[in-house]
A and B are shown apart, each in its own frame.
Chain A
């Protein structure tokens, strides 16, 4: 889920940026460096909402670089085990399907898909019930529950399930009326 938190980072700035727009350049560099990154503790940094404080810059010995401690506010996204999320299906194969909820990729294995849904190969591979009332295919929206997460340097990966109550397809793009 999304959180709005305060974080601190030490930014190094090259002397060529010193001048009247030092602060703007620092903020721009911060945004470039931090937005889109991911950490185990906070999750995925989605956007920086504001800069609280920029501390006094310290020159580094031997080089001209200056280090500023910057405190900023940002929106982060972190999936938790047990959380319920809505996601869009990106790929379906006989092992299960992959879905994406924002920056996080979730895999739902066929073990955790209800047993009455079976995999159908074809032009559009999908999982469907025997009476064809419910179908999961690419670009379907599903509600799923996170079973486990794993955070890398650049991305978060989760395992999900749709086997519990109230989980499953929300919207089927290929469904007729």
Chain B
């Protein structure tokens, strides 16, 4: 067992120390051997042999000690742990909790960098290096368990809330209903006295969470306050299985009025976001699936400027099995299947869920060629229009002029030239909501339902 054979195995900084230590020892002993020249040769040889033996024993002991405390990865932390009290300044201080470094326990010098992850613990702050390391480790775990990450919004996506003060007279029956159903574990209507709110869960939401949980690790990300977010998470997930330490609220956002994946401990390439507003996800539009808003209460409709009667006022509700959540669940299943498809050649860690989302989107209106009429003014650049871009994202070809290859004309008025051309040539004439519906339902809708 020679040193040369051992040192390649140990790539840590302690091997440098060890080499230095050995050098020091050998130098000390060689300087010790010179005064022994006076003694006769036999003794000298014996002494030298003894010394060599002692060296070897010492070396083997130290090698064993190092091997027994050997840790696989190269890390400065190793030298910290092996000589904790003597080298605290080598600790990389990856993060701080309540001002104490996570590894060496030193008090934090306030330099302001680092992301506060107050949803995990109210005084936790991690450096960007540590966040990336955690993201990488998390990614490996997720890919091994065949899971992706799903970030869910609360309001208008999974539920709808209203203040008790805003409940209209024709919604009063809901208050009574909420009180009656207090003990029913499957109820969807909740009255929260402490927050003066009435909450309605979207139909299918519990099944949705149960079905999505084996495929996705789920986070809640809302622009509401922390106490509201935690209360809603408790309603959706009473046994705290899905959202344990994963409820992100407005106070955790690093930018005002913008949600970001920087506080999510997961790699961006595996995150799918489910939200009803695109506006707050400017930086991560590619990961976003926009959901149709859930307006159950009248106050919610008014907030968005709709003058129609809300679902509660009509005493109706979204369909359980055909509603938005059921649709989205199917899309998520498809994306998950595509991602973990064993037939794909690429390495798991290099796949990107954003590419999968794009592909699924492209399939929706594949094969359609759309011309627009009186949807936007002809003076603006057509390709910049919102509806144009949605249609293109969904896989349709968009054009400004009609020709024989056009399959659909989207118009707000039956009297326009293009509209009449469409009727004449037996092309589909639909209103713009057809494109929006395709975007929300992720499949091509019946054109007959969207006549102009």
Contacts and interface: CB of A to CB of B under 8 A. Distances in A.
Given A94-B138, A159-B97, A148 B104 contact: yes
Contacts of A31: none
B64 to A, nearest CB: 14
A159 B100 contact: yes
Contacts of A118: 141
Given A147-B105, A148-B106, A163 B100 contact: no
A96 B102 CA distance: 10
Contact of A109 (B103, B141, B245): B103
A163 B106 contact: no
A159 B102 CA distance: 7
Interface SS of chain B: helix, strand, loop or mixed? loop
A44 B121 CA distance: 22
Interface SS of chain A: helix, strand, loop or mixed? strand
Interface residues of B, number: 30
A81 B241 CA distance: 35
B124 interface: yes
A150 B107 contact: yes
A24 interface: no
B73 A94 contact: no
Given A150-B98, A157-B98, A81 B71 contact: no
B3 interface: no
Given A93-B244, A107-B97, A119-B141, A148 B105 contact: yes
Interface of A: 81, 91, 93-96, 98, 107, 109, 111-112, 115, 118-119, 121-123, 125, 146-150, 157-159, 163-164
26 contacts: A93-B120, A93-B244, A94-B134, A107-B97, A107-B102, A109-B97, A109-B102, A109-B103, A112-B103, A115-B71, A118-B141, A119-B141, A123-B239, A125-B244, A146-B105, A147-B105, A148-B100, A149-B100, A150-B98, A150-B107, A157-B100, A158-B100, A159-B100, A159-B101, A163-B81, A164-B81
Interface of B: 71-73, 77, 81, 94-95, 97-107, 120-121, 124, 134, 138, 141, 217, 239, 241, 244-245, 265
